[in-house]
Amino acid sequence: MSYDTNYLKDSVIFITGGTGSFGKAAVKMLLNLSPAKIIIYSRDELKQHDMARTFNQPCTRYMIGDVRDLGRLTRAMEGADFVIHAAAMKQVPTCEYNPIEAIRTNIEGTKNVILAARQNAVEAAVLLSSDKACAPLNLYGATKMVAEKLFIHGHVYSSGHYPFLSVVRYGNVVGSRGSVIPIFQQQAAHGVLKVTDPNMTRFWITLEEAVTFVFLTLGMSTGREIHVPKLPAMRIIDLASAIAPDADIEIIGRRPGEKLHELLIAPGETYRTAEMEKYFIILPDDPKRIGKYQAHLTQREQYSSDDPYRWLSSEELKEMI
């Protein structure tokens, strides 16, 4: 996907959760785009120390802090032009077992990012969301759904200047923390892979594709939009076979809150969804905004991982692995 990154040159980019998988990939790509400063904001000093050993350039700044702490967040964000909000609790079982903590980070933390961005007159901010936010069944998805709502309606918190607030919603990231790939690889050593359901499907995106799409959204969004890339999908059992073709498969059943298929666009969103060549834009429920995209409104009833843009072949899965 082609995109224009000239807007990032000489800019200050602030990344929450900057020591995570996405943050590392984003910083690696940003260093080639001549930014004035990259502020990596996270709460784990060891991860910052380790990351600084790899990315220790004059333009990189590492700041300890938590998105739950509005005062520290606002101070750390001073001078930022663009904000990428990647900080989140995202492990489904962890969120289920620690619901208050998930709410404090994913919802209250997102509110704080919006308030800090407004206080610092940030030009634009984008929230990283998930297909699990679409018609959610588990707490993680529910907190991401609320976070999306906060970003889409964040303009109500201020009059006058406010940043363009938008959302990127995509599927499972290949190789990110919590990915099923390393789990299957560990199980392969014992000759048995545990699969929840043979018919389960998931959307799939690489880290580089995710970062590229976030940069695209950050540069072109006019606010109050959810941007959804057109993604390939795969069956979990096909992924298991690609990782360990000779291993036995044990079907263990779906976990609580786990969907058979994921949605990136729900049926109730399609009437205001514009379909472009390589992505969708879910527009705010505003007749004027929807009318501007009338010629591009999608004819899809939904966008599900069992009816994706395309299916990944066995060869593609093996290459990703």
pLDDT tens digits, 99-138: 999 999 999 999 999 999 999 999 999 999 999 999 999 9
Percentage of the chain with pLDDT > 70? Answer: 96
Average pLDDT of the chain, as a whole number:
93
Count CA atoms closer than 13 A to 20's CA, side-chain side.
22
Q: What is the pLDDT of residue 2?
A: 45
- Residue 105 Ramachandran class (φ > 0 left, ψ -120 to 50 alpha, else beta): alpha
The mean pLDDT of 226-239, rounded to a whole number, is: 94
Cα 169–Cα 85–Cα 134 angle in degrees, nearest 5: 25
At a CB cut-off of 8 Å and minimum separation 6, what does 277 contact? none
> In Å, what is the CA distance from 30 to each residue of 37, 125, 167, 214, 228?
10, 16, 20, 12, 22
**Would you tell me how many other CB atoms lie within 10 Å of the CB of residue 222?**
11
Q: What is the pLDDT of residue 157?
A: 63
C-alpha to C-alpha distance for 314 and 241, rounded to whole angstroms:
9
Q: Which of 273, 174, 185, 183 is nearest to 233 (CA)?
A: 174
C-alpha to C-alpha distance for 273 and 284, rounded to whole angstroms:
9
> Is 132 labeled as catalytic in the residue annotation?
yes
Cβ atoms of residues 77 and 51 within 8 Å: no
CB contact burial 140-162 (16+ within 10 A = b; e otherwise): bbbbbbbbbebbbebbeeeeeeb
Q: Which of 214, 228, 315, 241 is nearest to 270 (CA)?
A: 228
β-bridge partners, 192? 248
Tell me which DSSP letter residue 312 carries. P
Read off the pTM: 0.94
The mean pLDDT of 223-252, rounded to a whole number, is: 93
β-bridge partners, 84? 15, 126
> What is the band of 317 on the pLDDT scale with cuts at 50, 70, 90?
confident
Encoded tokens for 124 = 């634009």
Per-residue model confidence as pLDDT tens digits over 148-180 = 999 999 877 655 566 899 999 999 998 776 678
Four-way CATH pick for 7-173+204-230: 2.40.50.100, 3.30.70.1450, 3.40.50.720, 3.40.50.300: 3.40.50.720
The active-site residue, picked from 24, 90, 111, 132, is: 132
CB contact burial 51-67 (16+ within 10 A = b; e otherwise): beeebeeebbbbbebbb
Q: What is the pLDDT of residue 204?
A: 92
Per-residue model confidence as pLDDT tens digits over 11-25 = 999 999 999 999 999
